[in-house]
Amino acid sequence: MKKRYQKILSCLLSYILLISLLAVSPAMEISTKAAPADNGKKACWISFLDIEVFLQDKTEKEFRSKVSEMYDNVIEYGMNTVIVHVRALGDAMYPSNYYPWAAYFTTDRTDPGYDPLQIMIDLAHAKNLQFEAWINPYRLSRNNESTTSFKATPYYELFRPFTIEYKASARQTCLVLDPAKQETRDLITNGVREIVSKYDVDGIHFDDYFYVPGMADDLDLASKKANVNLLISQVYETIKSIKPDCTFGISPAGNPDSARKQGADIDTWLSTPGYIDYIMPQIYWTDIYVTSKGTEHMFTNRCSAWLEINKQDLPMYVGLALYQAGATSKSDLGWATSDTNLAYQYLTAKQLGYDGYSLFRYAWLEKDIATAELNNLKVYSAPLISDGAASDTAWNE
């Protein structure tokens, strides 16, 4: 009885804190759309950059131990899903029939003697975490170093007939699969089929890397969208033919216009069945964003813009910029002036009708500068009442 009483007090305290946060946060308009359930997606992106730092060249025992620790950190902050980079640079963090081993996982691209993807999935499910396999569909390299590395593999000559070599904005030489080629679509789809058929993933996740600057700048926008759409529909159909309950979601750039310019046909995806199961725009700005016209509620405005596009009423999750915690910016002032940005953004998105969030990216779960933001988000995103009592995990009892 005493423990139950303490939980009820915690619930009341959380409610009071929630109201206080809304009172001091930037003004916002609340949607009349019903808020999603408190058990919506609360995810963390585990990027190839995180894998390179925390998991590269580990023995199986070391790998299991660190992955388990990482998952415990994710759970500690109230999250229920991991979105793991299993293919970032035309490579694979698992034994693949279509791609070489990822250099960010095994430096010399040799088989580590165990299946890291299987282990990550098994550990996730053992800890009641959902596991989504994150793929960069087209990218083969991202700078001079990774281009040299990929060219040294036999896959370079194999992919060469449908590969584009281009200069990125920093004048780095990069490689990418040509979205206009059917060989590209088949390769990517076969890779997805391999994952969904072999592994018990809960979802396949694409990010925002489509037609980036320098890649095919002379191609008209309609053609870019058409090429990408052919891939997206082919991947969607393939996933559903194998495992209908496996979700397929995309995380495009947070500015809808920027997403469209990259060939992401978000208007079609969100109005026509057969493309995606959810959208997760990367809305990485606060509501204290200074422009030439004054301070703009950039986060809220972008969230609202995406809602207007969603004609199918598909699930929507918001990508949040954990990596910006405490950052100083001349335009985006919120990050340096508050440690409740993520909590406020979660509440704002939820009230507007979003179904959850994902944090970019894992490394900041282990950085002191992000601790206050994470703790505030944990408090405000925890269920107030669950089966008559507060969640044990949420209240850390």
pLDDT attached to residue 6 = 40
Residue 83 amino acid letter? I
Residue 126 lies in a domain: yes
Give the integer Cα–Cα distance in Å for 345 and 330.
Answer: 20
pLDDT at 355: 97
What does the pLDDT read at residue 169?
Answer: 82
* Residue at 358 is within a domain: yes
Question: Which phi-psi region, left, alpha or beta, contains residue 113 (left: φ > 0; alpha: ψ -120 to 50)?
Answer: left
Q: Which residue has the tokens 């960069």?
A: 136
| Domain contains 75 | yes
As a whole number of angstroms, the distance between CA 38 and CA 14 comes to 14
In single-letter form, the type of residue at position 176 comes to V
CA 45, CA 29: separation in Å to the nearest integer?
Answer: 29
**Total domain count for the chain?**
1
Q: Provide the whole-model pTM.
A: 0.89
Q: Would residue 95 count as lying in a domain?
A: yes
**pLDDT confidence of residue 39:** 62
C-alpha 225/C-alpha 267 separation (Å) is: 10
Domain CATH for 159: 3.20.20.80
pLDDT tens digit at each of 397 positions of the chain: 433 334 333 344 444 444 444 444 443 333 333 333 446 999 999 999 999 999 999 999 999 999 999 999 999 999 999 999 999 999 999 999 999 999 999 999 999 999 999 999 999 999 999 999 999 999 999 999 999 999 999 999 999 999 999 999 889 999 999 999 999 999 999 999 999 999 999 999 999 999 999 999 999 999 999 999 999 999 999 999 999 999 999 999 999 999 999 999 999 999 999 999 999 999 999 999 999 999 999 999 999 999 999 999 999 999 999 999 999 999 999 999 999 999 999 999 999 999 999 999 999 999 999 999 999 999 998 874 443 333 333 323 3
Task: Determine the pLDDT at residue 382.
Answer: 85
pLDDT of residue 383: 73
What local confidence, expressed as pLDDT, does residue 8 receive? 37
Q: Which two tokens stand for residue 221?
A: 């926008």
Residue 24 lies in a domain: no
Q: Per the domain annotation, does 32 fall within a domain?
A: no
The single-letter code of the amino acid at 42 is K
In the prediction, which pLDDT does 391 show?
Answer: 35
| CB-based contact 380:17 (threshold 8 Å) | yes
Could you tell me the residue range of the domain that residue 185 belongs to?
A: 42-392
Q: Is residue 35 part of a domain?
A: no
Helix segments in 287-391, DSSP class H: 298-309, 334-337, 341-352, 371-381
Residue 397 maps to a domain: no
